[in-house]
């Protein structure tokens, strides 16, 4: 193998830098559990000065409970709200009721209930955090979709709040939208983030950015990997806004918002975050590049530039060839357009390359 091919192989293996040439054993069984309680969640914001809810080491696997804000952040009592939809009291999470009663949502905070932060001992600014999505479990057999006037891509379509409780048939892995419509369940965390780069004490959890956050990226399901640059000691990982299913775009403002428990393996790659700007992701079939902006056209340009840069860095292509390949073989899609900052992603099929490094998840 030539020196150039060896360097490129190392970059490809980690998707973000030569630090990822290290082999990290897969650990599917959780070694620790972080419950969702009033003491381990924050409501609607990120910050770098929040005491850790959990401390782990790089390579460890953690099971993390989350609580959806769907049906919880209403003036109406959650038991009454869900009861009207036929949800029995015992299926309303006590965690959700405790959090609603005891956790403060500060002014400027968004709707999301976030579990964390998880402090990864080895992580330092300039590193990269790899998050492997090992498992996602439903905590309740239902979810909520909410919209209304002023919400989503069509803010003038509705004249009143529209909240729909959707029950699940977990044996068949479908959401029962109506008597005639069933939606395949594909759970994912709408928010996975590290503490943001800004030094201010609080950043709203609504707009995504370099630190991840409210990306609503439905490809981050079981078997996917998210890569985030680290800005603060410990990385300080948050997750929540858990979803049971969502289309690209999330156009009415929400998905099927449903409480999940996620199992994640965290791996720190030293120095690999220095050259990152946007988050990146990967699964068994694709590499994913991203671009974000308030303007959808600019988000598209950012995703395109990130894709060209990735193909140059990892495959040794010229700018012209990377640009051509991105046009010929890469699909660009809208992950979400409803969180102020909009996210476009490029899906680069692994099958177009004759060689790809081994990936931890096998179908």
Residue 91: band (very low, low, confident or very high) from pLDDT cuts 50, 70, 90: very high
The CA-atom distances, in angstroms, between 96 and each of 100, 233, 259 are 6, 30, 9
Mean pLDDT of the chain: 93
pLDDT at 7 over 70: no
What is residue 8's predicted lDDT score, i.e. its pLDDT?
36
Residue located via tokens 């460890």: 60
Residue 79: band (very low, low, confident or very high) from pLDDT cuts 50, 70, 90: very high
For residues 15-25, average pLDDT: 55
Residue 289: band (very low, low, confident or very high) from pLDDT cuts 50, 70, 90: very high
Angle at 105 between CA 99 and CA 107, to 5 degrees: 175
What is residue 198's predicted lDDT score, i.e. its pLDDT?
74
Q: For the chain, what percent of residues have pLDDT higher than 90?
A: 90
The CATH homologous superfamily for domain 26-270 is: Acetamidase/Formamidase-like domains (2.60.120.580)
What is residue 230's predicted lDDT score, i.e. its pLDDT?
97
Residue 197: band (very low, low, confident or very high) from pLDDT cuts 50, 70, 90: confident
For residues 79-103, average pLDDT: 97
The domains of the chain are located at 26-270
What is residue 199's predicted lDDT score, i.e. its pLDDT?
62
What is residue 200's predicted lDDT score, i.e. its pLDDT?
58
CA distance 267 to 127: 10
pLDDT at 351 over 50: yes
Burial environment of residue 29 by CB neighbours within 10 A (0 to 12, 13 to 18, 19 or more) = exposed
pLDDT in tens, 133-185: 999 999 999 999 999 999 999 999 999 999 999 999 999 999 999 999 999 99
What DSSP assignment string belongs to 261-319? EEEEEEEEETTTTTT--S-EEE-SSEEEEEEEESSHHHHHHHHHHHHHHHHHHHH---H
Q: What is the largest CA-CA distance in the chain?
A: 67
CA distance 127 to 268: 7
Give yes or no for a contact between 141 and 85, defined as CB atoms under 8 angstroms apart: no
CA distance 354 to 214: 34
What is residue 17's predicted lDDT score, i.e. its pLDDT?
42
For residues 320-337, average pLDDT: 98
Q: Which of 44, 255, 295, 253 is nearest to 150 (CA)?
A: 253
CA distance 345 to 335: 7
What is residue 362's predicted lDDT score, i.e. its pLDDT?
86
Q: For the chain, what percent of residues have pLDDT higher than 70?
A: 93
Between 61 and 1, name the one with better pLDDT. Answer: 61
Residue 233 has what DSSP assignment?
T
User: In terms of C-beta distances under 8 Å and separation of at least 24 residues, what long-range contacts does 150-155 make, across chains too?
Assistant: 151/252, 151/253, 151/338, 152/251, 152/252, 152/253, 152/338, 153/249, 153/251, 153/252, 153/337, 153/338, 154/251, 154/252
The CA-atom distances, in angstroms, between 336 and each of 177, 247, 290, 324 are 21, 9, 12, 26
């Amino acid at each position: 193998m030539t020196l150039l091919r060896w360097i490129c192989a190392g970059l490809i293996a980690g998707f973000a830098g030569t630090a990822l040439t290290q082999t990290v054993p897969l650990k599917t069984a959780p070694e620790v559990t972080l419950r969702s309680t009033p003491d381990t969640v924050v409501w609607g914001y990120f910050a770098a000065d929040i005491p850790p809810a959990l401390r782990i080491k790089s390579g460890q696997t953690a099971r993390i409970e989350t609580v959806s804000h769907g049906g919880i952040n209403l003036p109406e009592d959650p038991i009454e709200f869900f009861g009207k939809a036929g949800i029995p009291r015992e299926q309303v999470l006590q965690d959700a009721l405790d959090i609603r009663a005891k956790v403060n949502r500060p002014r400027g905070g968004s709707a999301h209930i976030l579990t964390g932060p998880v402090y990864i001992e080895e992580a330092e600014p300039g590193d990269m955090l790899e998050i492997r999505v090992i498992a996602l479990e439903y905590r309740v057999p239902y979810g909520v979709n909410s919209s209304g006037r002023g919400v989503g891509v069509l803010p003038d379509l509705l004249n009143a709040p529209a909240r729909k409780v959707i029950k699940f048939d977990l044996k068949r892995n479908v959401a029962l939208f109506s008597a005639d419509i069933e939606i395949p369940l594909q759970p994912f965390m709408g928010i996975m983030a590290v503490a943001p780069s800004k030094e201010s004490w609080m950043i709203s959890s609504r707009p995504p950015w370099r630190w991840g956050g409210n990306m609503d990226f439905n490809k981050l399901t079981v078997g996917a990997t998210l890569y985030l640059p680290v800005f603060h000691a410990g990385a300080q990982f948050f997750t929540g806004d858990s979803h049971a299913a969502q289309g690209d775009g999330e156009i009415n403002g929400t998905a099927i918002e449903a409480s999940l428990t996620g199992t994640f393996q965290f791996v720190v790659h030293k120095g690999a975050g220095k050259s990152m700007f946007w988050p990146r992701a990967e699964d068994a079939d694709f590499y994913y590049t991203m671009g974000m902006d308030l303007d959808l056209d600019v988000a598209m340009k950012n995703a395109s530039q990130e894709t060209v840069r990735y193909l140059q860095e990892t495959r040794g292509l010229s700018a012209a060839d990377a640009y051509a390949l991105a046009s010929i073989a890469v699909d660009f899609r809208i992950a979400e357009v409803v969180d102020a900052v909009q996210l476009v992603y490029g899906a680069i099929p692994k099958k177009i390359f004759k060689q790809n490094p081994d990936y931890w998840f096998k179908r």
